[in-house]
Amino acid sequence: MKKNEKANPKEESAEPTACGAQGGNECQTGPPRFSTQPDTNIKNTIAVMSGKGGVGKSAVTMLLAVALRRRGFEVGILDADITGPSIPRGLGVNGRIFVGEAGPLPAVSSTGIKVMSMNLILDREDDVVIWRGPLISSAVGQFYQELWWGELDYLLIDLPPGTADVPLTVMQSIPLDGIILVTSPQELAGMVVAKAMNMAARLDAPTIGLIENMAYVICPSCGEKVEPFGPSHGEEAARKMRIAFLGSLPLDRSISELVDGGKLEEYESSEVEAVIGEVIKRVADVKGIKEVSS
């Protein structure tokens, strides 16, 4: 097993493969297991997922990365949304991927967050990728396996919406430490977030917890907390799904403005700080360790 390869619970209990070999993709009956470059060491790999689109997964992924970076952690984001990448824009990362001696290197944001995204390969930000599922999934595999990520405390994987090819590939082939589910209050009325959670459970991917995004607005004139989609159901939904509730984030115009302007690293909020504190604790709980080293 390579240095950064983590045991997969399914792998341990797997039936012997047809060829009888232990490990090695060529003899496995199941999906391939991805491993990173030998001199890359990722301590915590977390995928950010939602049942449906537009709930703020990418914004939340970036906010979590920014908050972790502020606490001094080495952080990377793998933008697994190949056809709708949005991470480079939000963090103001542009330019192309540099190929060093060790291989291709992720781009780096102004505060030091490492980023890999399809948009860093395309000639123009608005070039379109028209690929079928298997090709898209293989691009995600290459981003994970072939990049020289180096030493990372956290790699956050921003998934495309839903439960299709890419989430499936990421859950089956990347050794995940956990999944964070993002939802918005109106989505909670349905069962969509539960579908995402059920997928994670079926594939033995541990769930870190649920973040409710765009839960409320603070009135800019009177400071009153307004709940435009009605009262929050985040905690209740998490309880029903028997997963941890990591907290609520407000609908805040400055988030979308900073994303559009490539300056999300400037956003500061006590709510994000509270959520990230919970995330760090829960990741450690899920991994069964007391504290995650920085």
Q: Which residues bind ligand ATP (CB under 6 A)?
A: 50, 53-59, 81, 84, 86, 160-161, 213-214, 249, 251-252, 255-256, 259
Shortest separation between residue 184's beta carbon and ligand ATP, angstroms: 8
CB-nearer residue toward ligand ATP: 136 or 292? 136
Applying CB under 5 A, among 58, 163, 183, 248 the residue interacting with Mg ion is: 58
**Secondary structure of the chain as H, E, C letters:** CCCCCCCCHHHHHCCCCCCCCCCCHHHCCCCCCCCCCCCCEEEEEEEEECCCCCCCHHHHHHHHHHHHHHCCCCEEEEECCCCCCCHHHHHCCCCCCEEECCEEECEECCCCCEEECHHHCCCCCCCCCCCCHHHHHHHHHHHHHHCCCCEEEEEEEECCCCCCHHHHHHHHHCCCCEEEEEECHHHHCCCHHHHHHHHHHHCCCCEEEEEECCCCEECCCCCCEECCCCCCCHHHHHHHHCCCEEEECCCCHHHHHHHHCCCHHHCCCHHHHHHHHHHHHHHHHHHCCCCCCC
Shortest separation between residue 83's beta carbon and ligand ATP, angstroms: 10
Shortest separation between residue 12's beta carbon and ligand ATP, angstroms: 33
Shortest separation between residue 33's beta carbon and ligand ATP, angstroms: 26
Q: Applying CB under 5 A, does 61 fall inside the site for Mg ion?
A: no
Which partner from the list ligand ATP, Mg ion, none does 251 bind, CB cut-off 5 to 8 Å by kind? ligand ATP
CB-nearer residue toward Mg ion: 35 or 117? 117
Q: Applying CB under 5 A, does 184 fall inside the site for Mg ion?
A: no
Q: Applying CB under 5 A, does 248 fall inside the site for Mg ion?
A: no
Kindly determine how many residues on this chain lie close enough to bind Mg ion according to the rule CB under 5 A: 2
CB-nearer residue toward Mg ion: 58 or 172? 58
Q: Applying CB under 5 A, does 163 fall inside the site for Mg ion?
A: no
Which partner from the list Mg ion, ligand ATP, none does 259 bind, CB cut-off 5 to 8 Å by kind? ligand ATP
Shortest separation between residue 282's beta carbon and ligand ATP, angstroms: 20
In the complex, which residues of this chain contact Mg ion (CB under 5 A)?
Answer: 57-58
